[in-house]
Amino acid sequence: MIPFSVLDLSPIVQGGDAAQAFRNTLDLARHAERLGYRRYWLAEHHNMGGVASAATAVVIAHVAGGTSTIRVGAGGIMLPNHAPLVIAEQFGTLESLFPGRIDLGLGRAPGSDQVTARALRRNLAGDVDGFPQDVLELMGYFRPAEPGQLVRAVPGAGLHVPIWILGSSLFGAQLAAALGLPYAFASHFAPAQMNQAIALYRREFRPSAQLASPYVMLGINVFAADTDEEARLLWTSLQQAFVNLRRGRPGPLPPPAFGYERELTPLDHAGLEQALTCSVVGSPETVRRGLLDFITRTRADELMVTSQIFDHAARRRSFEITAAARNELAGAG
């Protein structure tokens, strides 16, 4: 059975704040470590009232410092927002502090709206179009420094920080294949081109010093509870968050709402079905069957599980059920 990992946005819930979100993130990371998850990744988003992980490298340090064995990383750093040298220094620092445990996933989306992107970068010139060159520049900073090299990442040069390409389209698949890097697809919120992207990546992959053969990690929403009914109720928090985002009203993660689906318009239903089709919601047996079906269909090498659940105790329970389902599938295999 393939490894399972965790994607966390450090959700800020209604009535909560970022401090509480960070406490919950560290608690969940320790919980995931005990349960046998392989990695714990945090995502870069900006100007989002429900996401506390904007300063992603700082939160990674917080999580890595509070755990001991689980890999910790970025899923991902939106590289157009940053100078490659700065990211090399940040992740060189993290790797120096927590050797052998740091991952660096790279994306080319802004992680925000265009107004916020402009505030981050001061201008939008040369942003996503330069992404491949920025990736190559960043990779170069991790190579051992050469005599006469004018600019070095200190720390960073000579350190092994595994780099992943993140994506939700064919562009990322092509780049990951060309560079021989592992590929993480954002199927948990943008699944439309998942099958095409996986096929393209596997077909065009060229081995590299980092990776000998293609490696695909897929995002999946898992809302697990003791009953199907309870899981469906927990699921309404993410449904509300997506609808609010689509309507231009993003905010803190809302509490579950009984009967929420009955309030949705046909357009809302269509949007949710399109965005969240890679989701498993239900009791332990429902989750086990759903995960097996997803793995069988996609032949994923690893799953990145995300669970935007309002109640922290229920979120912990969801990851327990998911880990148990993985263990059952491993035993059956």
310's tokens = 């309002």
* pLDDT value at 137 more than 80: yes
In which band, very low, low, confident or very high, does the pLDDT at 333 lie, cut at 50, 70 and 90?
low
- What's CA 144's distance to the chain center, in Å? 29
pLDDT per position as a tens digit, 227-260: 999 999 999 999 999 999 888 888 999 999 999 9
In a domain, 92, yes or no: yes
In a domain, 197, yes or no: no
Beta strands in the chain (DSSP E): 4-8, 39-42, 71-78, 102-107, 163-167, 183-185, 216-224, 279-282, 302-306
In a domain, 190, yes or no: no
In a domain, 180, yes or no: no
Show the domain range for 88: 1-161
Average pLDDT over the chain reads 94
Question: What whole-number percentage of the chain has pLDDT above 70?
Answer: 96
Print burial letters for 133-147: b (CB count within 10 Å at least 16), e (below 16).
ebbebbbbbbeeeee
Residue matched to tokens 């392989």: 38
Mean pLDDT (whole number) for 153-171: 96
In a domain, 38, yes or no: yes
In a domain, 11, yes or no: yes
- Are 229 and 137 found together in one domain? no
Number of domains into which the chain is organized = 2
- Are 20 and 132 found together in one domain? yes
* pLDDT value at 122 more than 70: no
pLDDT at residue 1, rounded to an integer: 85
- Are 238 and 132 found together in one domain? no
Mean pLDDT (whole number) for 284-312: 98
- Are 156 and 239 found together in one domain? no
Q: How far apart are CA 242 and CA 179, in angstroms?
A: 33
* pLDDT value at 143 more than 80: yes
pLDDT per position as a tens digit, 179-226: 999 999 999 999 999 999 999 999 999 999 999 999 999 999 999 999
Q: What contacts 71, CB < 8 A, 6 or more positions away?
A: 5, 38, 39, 40, 101, 102, 103
**Which is higher by pLDDT, 13 or 332?**
13
- Are 157 and 252 found together in one domain? no
pLDDT at residue 246, rounded to an integer: 87
Question: What whole-number percentage of the chain has pLDDT above 90?
Answer: 86
Mean pLDDT (whole number) for 273-280: 95
- Are 151 and 266 found together in one domain? no
